[in-house]
Chain A
Amino acid sequence: MSYINAKNLFKEYGTGAATVTAVGGVNLCVNAGEFVAVMGESGSGKSTLLSMLGGLNAPTSGSFLVDGVDVYALTSDGRADFRKKSIGFVFQNFHLLPYLTLAENVMLPLAIVKMGKKQKLAAAIDALARVGLSDKAHRLPNQISGGEQERVAIARAVVNHPPIILADEPTGNLDTHTGSEIMKLLTALNHEGITVIMVTHSNEYAHYARRLIRLSDGRVVDEGTNLRSPQSRRVKSDRTRKRGKKHGKRAGTK
């Protein structure tokens, strides 16, 4: 069974004739450590699906299991605990709290965790170091660039070591170069074993993912392995290298 298992997820808003179906019967299985990009036009249901996967938005029907736990069968507090332990969110507009320093922003998810003050700070500095910003820990968000703010948002998402990162358009407000840096960072985190599900408009950034899912009108219209992803390319080059060695051996034998 997959790590993340969504079966026939429906999300409808409104009632009667005014009913709008945001997500209409999505089935999704994601293995632990996968990097999945969800693509689609505006209004295709990407963000609604992501919020359902994050335990923030109960589906109208369907089931959603993470590691065998039916998330929407949990109580409100149970779902909050699920988010605390299992999910790290990365938002498009960073959404750092302007009145907190970078270290304090990163420490936010730890505010509700029983840990010593020094341990929390050490965890925050460690997370900032992972995104290359440990030297700016005591600055305020308005004292750093947009790309750096997104990196802080990623540090905040990983500070409590969640197994899943849900990123909603993480490169949406960034230039191409900075966007690529963010994608490399997400890829690196994925290589550490974190499952990443990312919503994006951009074909360029989507190709960092191992698997692509395309949504239209709330339905999955296309799904497949992305052969252009760094991961796929690495697998491909490994295979080629192995094949080359085999051929070499054969040639040598001959």
Chain B
Amino acid sequence: MTLKNIVINNLRRRKARAIFVLVGLLIGVSTVVGLISLVQEMKKDINHKLEMYGANILIVPKTENLSLTYGGMSLGGFSFDMEEIRQDEVAKIKTIKNSANVAAVGPMVLGPITVGGHRILLAGVDFTAAQILRPWWSVKGKFPAGENGVIIGSDASRISGLKPGDKVTVRGRPLPVTGVLEATGSQDDGLIFAPLPVAQGILGKQGRISMVEVAALCSGCPIPEMVKQISAVLPSGNVMAIQQVVKGRMETIGHFQKFSYGVSALVLLVGCLMVLVTMMGSVRERTIEIGIFRAMGFRKSHVLRIILLEAALVAAVAGIAGYFAGLGATRLLLPLFTQGQGHGAVSLDPIMAATAFLASIMLGIAASLYPALMAARLDPNEALRAL
């Protein structure tokens, strides 16, 4: 027989009260876990969508000219013959502090060519990076293997009449057409894409590139900070972030996160009040019992320990159950917050589980502290007079 036995036996006997305390904390913990998990999963989902969206940092050579394009119409002021970035400098992007957040780097060389009497823009790309940067690409045929072959945008294919299996001769160099892009609704539809070294050779721009697209994961790294870091390693480039998309979405998540914290605090407060009221009732109900303990020689600290241990045990169970309930709620609710496109299953997070467990115990103890002190301070004679 120890204080622990007294606590466990009492919990077994007063199941209704124990369940009431458990439910109070469980609702609090599961709400917090649910909301935090939801925010995390929404962030993951947005990151995933941003990855799907493609590049969110663009690096172009520095120029004094302004781009005079609007709505897809070029009005001059932008020349493909402008300054270029040296290809060997591109590798420096991988050396920035937040390099771990760089998903893909896509160097691109651009230049006009004439195919069948039509002036078409030739884009030299790294097809591996291009597929990450443009996940929406769908090719009839296949991507070129190695340095042999090109793929053609849908408009360029229509105008030039080229289709997979044809050969296109560019500046005397015959290249097989391995595939045709499905219409994307973007400028890509009017381009011919060749492997970067091939395009550089055709355009006479060996070792030079016209622009670099970077896909950055924005979780844990602010895009503006990455832009600064890339600018520092690429002084010849003008680094720009597609900020509106990132900022707007992250702000929405930020607002939701703040709202979640507010709701969590409120629910936890209500949960703690439930625990407080229940434990107060329990102490009042156990006045005689406490009187007997004190008469037997239990110190105030022993009584305090009995009440707090009881609260801690229930809170520990509530912490574990609350974590899994929160996780379950997130799994159910996530599709509603991500338009049914929740990115993967909500996974177990050991750190969050441990935090939920410990936080629940601490809250249970904190909420029971006053009733426990009340029990410890109970005058044993008063308790005996109640006998």
Contact = CB atoms under 8 A, between A and B. Distances in A.
Contacts of B298: 80, 84, 111-112
A54 interface: yes
A122 interface: no
Interface in A112-147: 112, 120, 124
A97 B295 contact: no
Given A51-B381, A95-B288, A120-B1, A77 B300 contact: yes
Contacts of B3: 111-112
B2 interface: yes
A202 interface: no
Given A51-B384, A56-B381, A93-B387, A83 B297 contact: yes
A54 B297 CA distance: 10
A100 B288 contact: no
Interface stretch (B8-16, B196-204, B224-232, B233-241): B8-16
B296 A89 contact: yes
Interface stretch (A102-110, A192-200, A208-216): A102-110
A contact patch SS: helix
A40 B6 CA distance: 37
Interface in A66-85: 76-77, 80-85
A104 B35 CA distance: 45
Nearest to A157: B296
Give the bracket for the number of chain B residues in contact with chain A: 20 to 34
Contacts of A232: none
A61 interface: no
A3 interface: no
Interface in B246-289: 288-289
A82 to B, nearest CB: 8
B5 A109 contact: no
B294 interface: yes
Question: Which of A47, A91, A99 lies at the interface centre, i.e. has the most chain B CB atoms within 10 A of its CB?
Answer: A99
B387 A112 contact: no
B303 to A, nearest CB: 10
B296 A109 contact: yes
Interface string B347-387: 00000000000000000000000000000000011001101
> B294, B299, B300: which has the most chain A beta carbons within 10 Å?
B299
Contact of B380 (A56, A93, A168): A56
Interface string B1-37: 1110110011011000000000000000000000000
A98 interface: yes
Contacts of A47: 384-385
Interface residues of A, number: 34
A8 interface: no
B297 A112 contact: yes
B292 interface: yes
Contacts of A92: 387
A63 B340 CA distance: 79
Nearest to B288: A95
Contact of B1 (A54, A95, A104): A104
A104 B9 CA distance: 10
Contact of B295 (A54, A85, A100): A54
A75 B13 CA distance: 34
A83 B13 contact: no
B252 to A, nearest CB: 53
Most buried by A among B12, B13, B289, B296: B296
Contacts of A110: 1
Contacts of A99: 9-10, 12-13
Contacts of B295: 54, 56, 83, 87, 89
A108 B2 CA distance: 8
Given A92-B387, A95-B288, A108 B1 contact: yes
B387 A91 contact: yes
B299 A77 contact: yes
B302 interface: yes
Which of A95, A98, A111 counts the most B-chain CB atoms under 10 A from its CB?
A: A111
Contacts of A95: 288, 292, 387
Contact of B297 (A91, A97, A109): A109
A57 interface: yes
A91 B298 CA distance: 17
A54 B3 CA distance: 23
Interface in B287-332: 288-289, 292-302
B287 to A, nearest CB: 12
B289 A97 contact: yes
Contacts of B299: 76-77, 80-81, 112
B68 to A, nearest CB: 86
Q: Which 6 residue pairs across A and B have the least CB separation, nearest first?
A: A84-B297, A99-B13, A107-B1, A57-B381, A83-B297, A80-B299
Given A56-B295, A84-B297, A112-B298, 9 more contacts: A51-B384, A77-B299, A84-B296, A93-B387, A95-B292, A99-B10, A100-B9, A111-B298, A112-B297
16 contacts: A51-B384, A56-B295, A56-B380, A56-B381, A76-B299, A80-B300, A81-B299, A83-B296, A93-B387, A95-B288, A95-B387, A97-B292, A104-B5, A107-B1, A120-B1, A168-B387
